[in-house]
Structure 1
Amino acid sequence: MKITIGQCSFVVADFAYNYHKIKEVITNNQDSDLIVFSELCVIGYYPYDLLVYDEVIKAQNEIIEKIKQLSEQYAIAVIIGVASAVDGIKKFHNSALVIDKGEVVFTYHKKLIPSYSIFDEKRHFIAGEGTPFFELQGKRIALFICEDIWFDNHQGYLKNPVLELDHNKVDCVITLNASPSMLGKFAQRESIVKKIAQEVNAPVIYASQVGGYDEIIYDGASFVSDNHGNIVALANSFKEDVVSVDIDNLPQKVHSNPYSSDYALILDQLILGLQDYLRKCRFTGVVIGSSGGIDSALTLAIAALALGKENVKAITMPSVYSSEGSVSDSERLCHNLGIHLYHRPIKEEFEATILAFEKAFGKEPKKLTKENMQARIRGRIVMEYSNDSGLLMLTTGNKSELAVGYATLYGDMCGALNCIGDLYKHDVYALSEYINQIYGELIPREIIDKAPSAELSEGQKDSDSLPDYRHLDAMLKLYLERDLLMPEEVENLERIVSEVDSKEQRRIYRMVELNEFKRKQAPQILIIQRRPFGIGRRMPVTGAFQK
């Protein structure tokens, strides 16, 4: 039996587009016996509260009928992911339909409904029941959907769907997935599938989604494992692809993790995330404020690599406190990247803002107020250019700064999307070095080597108010992700944190807690880490917890 995986980048609720993608795979692989698509492929994963609209479900069901016609026309069996209404309640099953000869011959409902990290499926879906087994062309096949094979993910599930495979001989296991890409995720998938393949002595088909969906990026990397759990067919990462195998005569070549470097994966993930955000939101380019610092430099480099230099604009906005390098380094960076840099000094505007404040309130603004004034003037300028040009504004804060509130609301936090907001500061430097290693010195050495500074007051440096980033990042990673880290990671981070005074540790943790209100108002952040800010970490603003 020849089974094909159609790894596509679907668009949520764009049913004509999604049908076109599905039809394209079917018509180009007519020699297949079975074609498998990803979880909720017809409507797109994840549709959130679009599911409450009857029109959305009606449109999905119309596409299902058209796919049934394709199956009959080309005499090909197809497995698709859909939302199935449950009679009597305003909930759905997350379902997989097996369509053969134009008819639905088997339906499987997802049994483990995740509600942790970035997932919130229990808001819309309920757990299904029933057997995962069906027969097709004389083959006995087991069918699961994504979380069903992640029972050991410490979420307190009461039943393990995979245990239904015990003492049941199958010729193949198929799982439909919408599995977000995060550091370490591929190795987790490989480990889970290897265990299943070895236990049932059968190949496993892992059909995955690819593409950017808001802040979430799916890497694809669909694969087929043999009876021993070795990956014998592997789709591209971060690209649409089609993979076909004959499960009676599997390939002998064994594939491994396509990324030996975390930063190679991070770069590809951010590039696809930015590309798809713009494409699916119908923007053609971006504008970014260039400070001459490492964060805006990395953001500009990612944007240029993702979108092409002609679709990226930068604005340098020096103030009275800006160093000469903030402008000259921005100029050198934009020259290297081949993008246009606009000059828009804010000195006079800043001075006028101070005078207006004094006139209105009868006193000189405080030092912090003056610093934030500059950030907000800059944010407004870039936003104005975004409005006028139709380009999307990207913001540039890293995870370390966002964690401790080292950012100005309605200032440098302005923007629609943040490409580097899930990168700790040490990741920002490491990814910048990686880009220079691969593409030549796009980011000038002067930017990488200079001491970090917001340059909002005389002689200001990040180190004036924050620990060095080696210690800060270790504290933050432990605080935010401890329960998700491997024991050796925790041990190493604890060793670094032990070098920091306990009073200073408490001060940093308190900064994280006090600045939740800022993060609630931050732009969406492309997700990289195991616990991202935003939908991945949901904390109360008015809570009283103190670590």
Structure 2
Amino acid sequence: MTVKVAIAQINSVVGALEANANLIFDYASQAKELGADIVVTPELSLVGYPPEDLLLRAGFYLEADKVLNSLAQRLAALGDLHVLVGHPHQVDDKHYNAVSLLLQGEVVGTYHKHALPNDMVFDEKRYFDSGNEALVFEVKGTRFGVNICEDTWNHAAPSMAKNAGAQVLLVPNGSPFHMNKEALRLDVMRENVSAHGLSLVYANLVGGQDELIFDGNSFVLDVEGQCVAKLAHCQQQLRIVEFDGARPLPTECAAELSVEAQVYQALVLGVRDYVGKNGFPSVLIGFSGGVDSALTLAIAVDALGVDKVRAVMMPSPYTADISWLDSRDMAKRLGVRYDEISINQCFSAFRETLSQEFAGLKEDTTEENIQARIRGTILMAMSNKYGSIVLTTGNKSEMAVGYCTLYGDMAGGFAVIKDIAKTLVYRLCAYRNSLSDVIPERIITRPPSAELRPDQKDQDSLPEYEILDGIMQRYMEENQSRAEIVAAGYAEADVEKITRLIKINEYKRRQAPVGIRITHRAFGRDWRYPITSKFRD
């Protein structure tokens, strides 16, 4: 007798318990209509993931219990449908990351997560206690066990489920995206689940939560570790997979995407959810005619539509003609609202105001930064007036070495490409233009410049971006020492310069807006270096 298991790859909102319960009920209802026997929702699907310090509030657990029980009663209308729902669970003075089995109006079983991740973006040991028991239930003669996310990243919890009689492992997940994460998940699941002779249903969350992106990409593996079903990247989706005993029958697998496509879609999802979930009516972008702001503008329009995006060009005395010509061209291609507000008058006023104070001193980065800060002030004034959030346009390479201005180009509410190295910026522009030609070619091919002094180029101050990005990746993302990086072929002077700049600009990055994470180590939650530190590797 076959069993139909539904994967509900849903986009929960942290703290929106009633709305999340409604979403789960809607997906369960659709699954029932399709003949499902079991519905698997993602990790902490009832409350959103990660709830962080909401988990320190007693009222959060009380409300979660109340909504969970109400949802169970509503699901009774769906008959003998088994629904797995993730939620926080308090038992006496213990707190657990849990998933409960809801059936015929009751909570008939609860599993507590065993392995609590405490690295990278995770700090679950701050909030939860570890469980130590299995949960196995039978449907039509097939026995299904439950694990939660990190439990399957070692052998212990899958082995316990197997010993308790499980033939198929159902795994709710809140597994965030980074490049190459999908292949890593498959490899680990084969090593730690398929090795026990278990089939696997991996149900992952989808959506943006602050800097984290949950990419979905849920999948099903048979006992040999072959992928027989895969859901979409960065989209909500419901998928029914039929089991003949413990053997899943092959069904549709979503198309494999290039790295650039995966990242671009993740950025679009991140912008859409950050703006939408936080209730901003629209966004503002300071558009320079450069490649970073061009990519940010394209992402914003794809995420929100042209009616919610406004591009503002703010030329200075050093803005090249091709910058505003290319800006106008791209805005026209996208159909987005575009305005030009000159900062010349404001810049002259600042110079005049400070002329006596700075008498006899040469112009330097002080005057460059004044221009950036004028632009930041204008954008934030418009944000205050219209309620729009400012999307900043700085990339990871610039953030790493401090090639950015506090209260200037760093001013804003959400940093879209904060974790995108400059070399990847160019690849993403090429990818976006492969869909439709929206970024003028000259924006991509011209030498990058902040245009804050005559004939300025980024490489006047920095190594070529291929070199900068390579050193940054090895030092910041892979934790290699300077000696190791030099041994890999990079010039010692470049390595010394870049690693020194990364260190001394920590104070700037601490004041940067939150931004989307797409690498396995981003500045922010992954990177917790002291500002005040004399250590040098």
TM-score above 0.5, yes or no: yes
Provide the residue aligned with 1:14 in structure 2. Answer: 16
Deviations 1:115-165 (A, max 9, x none): 1111111111121112243444543222100011113xxxxxxx8323325
Is 2:528 the partner of 1:538? yes
Map 1:110-189 onto structure 2 (within 5 A): 110-151=113-154, 160-165=156-161, 169-189=165-185
Provide the residue aligned with 2:84 in structure 1. Answer: 79
**2:134 touches 2:164 (CA, 8 Å); kept in 1?**
no
Shift of the alpha carbon at 1:16? 1.7
**1:230 touches 1:254 (CA, 8 Å); kept in 2?**
no
Provide the residue aligned with 2:458 in structure 1. Answer: 462
Provide the residue aligned with 1:219 in structure 2. Answer: 215
CA distance in 2: counterparts of 1:135 and 1:434, whole angstroms: 47
Of 40, 45, 69, the residue aligned with 2:44 is 40
Q: Greater shift after overlay, 251-260 or 123-132?
A: 251-260
**2:309 touches 2:337 (CA, 8 Å); kept in 1?**
yes
Provide the residue aligned with 1:473 in structure 2. Answer: 469
Report SS of the residue matched to 1:525.
coil
Is 2:244 the partner of 1:248? yes
CA distance in 2: counterparts of 1:272 and 1:124, whole angstroms: 28
Query: 1:190 and 1:396, CA in 2 relative to 1: closer, same or farther beyond 3 A?
Result: same
CA distance in 1: counterparts of 2:295 and 2:71, whole angstroms: 43
Cα-Cα RMSD: 2.2
Q: Greater shift after overlay, 386-395 or 191-200?
A: 191-200
Provide the residue aligned with 2:262 in structure 1. Answer: 265
Shift of the alpha carbon at 1:29? 2.2
Deviations 1:253-283 (A, max 9, x none): 4766743410011111111111111110011
Give the partner amino acid of 1:10. Answer: S
Give the partner amino acid of 2:304. Answer: L
CA distance in 2: counterparts of 1:336 and 1:223, whole angstroms: 38
Provide the residue aligned with 1:337 in structure 2. Answer: 334
CA distance in 1: counterparts of 2:69 and 2:139, whole angstroms: 20
**1:186 touches 1:257 (CA, 8 Å); kept in 2?**
no
**1:214 touches 1:524 (CA, 8 Å); kept in 2?**
yes
Map 1:88-103 onto structure 2 (within 5 A): 88=93, 92-103=95-106
CA distance in 2: counterparts of 1:80 and 1:132, whole angstroms: 14
Provide the residue aligned with 1:107 in structure 2. Answer: 110
Is 2:371 the partner of 1:368? no
CA distance in 1: counterparts of 2:130 and 2:360, whole angstroms: 62
Q: Greater shift after overlay, 456-465 or 246-255?
A: 246-255
Give the partner amino acid of 1:275. Answer: R
Give the partner amino acid of 2:111. Answer: Y
Report SS of the residue matched to 2:500.
helix
CA distance in 2: counterparts of 1:84 and 1:168, whole angstroms: 23
Query: 1:514 and 1:220, CA in 2 relative to 1: closer, same or farther beyond 3 A?
Result: same
Provide the residue aligned with 1:510 in structure 2. Answer: 500
Deviations 1:402-439 (A, max 9, x none): 00000000000011111111111000011101111121
Give the partner amino acid of 1:535. Answer: R
Give the partner amino acid of 1:4. Answer: A
Query: 1:13 and 1:166, CA in 2 relative to 1: closer, same or farther beyond 3 A?
Result: closer
CA distance in 1: counterparts of 2:20 and 2:424, whole angstroms: 35
Provide the residue aligned with 1:154 in structure 2. Answer: none
**2:136 touches 2:146 (CA, 8 Å); kept in 1?**
yes
Is 2:26 the partner of 1:24? yes
List gaps (5 residues or longer) in structure 1: 152-158, 485-489
**1:170 touches 1:200 (CA, 8 Å); kept in 2?**
no
CA distance in 2: counterparts of 1:258 and 1:535, whole angstroms: 31
CA distance in 1: counterparts of 2:221 and 2:272, whole angstroms: 30
Is 2:273 the partner of 1:276? yes
Report SS of the residue matched to 1:97.
strand
Provide the residue aligned with 2:301 in structure 1. Answer: 304
CA distance in 1: counterparts of 2:488 and 2:295, whole angstroms: 27
TM-score normalised by structure 1 residue count: 0.92
**1:357 touches 1:363 (CA, 8 Å); kept in 2?**
no
Deviations 1:36-85 (A, max 9, x none): 11111111111111122333222211111112213323222211111111
Residues paired across the two proteins, number? 530
Report SS of the residue matched to 2:147.
strand
List gaps (5 residues or longer) in structure 2: none
Shift of the alpha carbon at 1:480? 1.2
Deviations 1:343-379 (A, max 9, x none): 1111121111012123456665741110110000001
Provide the residue aligned with 1:204 in structure 2. Answer: 200
TM-score normalised by structure 2 residue count: 0.94
**1:357 touches 1:364 (CA, 8 Å); kept in 2?**
no
Of 185, 190, 204, the residue aligned with 2:186 is 190
Shift of the alpha carbon at 1:171? 2.2
Give the partner amino acid of 2:40. Answer: V
Deviations 1:493-539 (A, max 9, x none): 959961x4312311110100000111111111111111011112111
Provide the residue aligned with 1:447 in structure 2. Answer: 443
Is 2:58 the partner of 1:68? no
**2:477 touches 2:522 (CA, 8 Å); kept in 1?**
no
Provide the residue aligned with 1:156 in structure 2. Answer: none
Provide the residue aligned with 1:55 in structure 2. Answer: 59
**2:86 touches 2:100 (CA, 8 Å); kept in 1?**
yes
Provide the residue aligned with 1:402 in structure 2. Answer: 399
**1:293 touches 1:447 (CA, 8 Å); kept in 2?**
yes
Provide the residue aligned with 2:287 in structure 1. Answer: 290
Aligned identity (percent) is 37
**1:8 touches 1:241 (CA, 8 Å); kept in 2?**
yes
Give the partner amino acid of 1:504. Answer: D
Of 353, 357, 373, the residue aligned with 2:350 is 353
Of 521, 528, 544, the residue aligned with 2:518 is 528
Report SS of the residue matched to 2:530.
coil
Of 232, 236, 250, the residue aligned with 2:232 is 236
Give the partner amino acid of 2:203. Answer: A
**1:197 touches 1:228 (CA, 8 Å); kept in 2?**
no
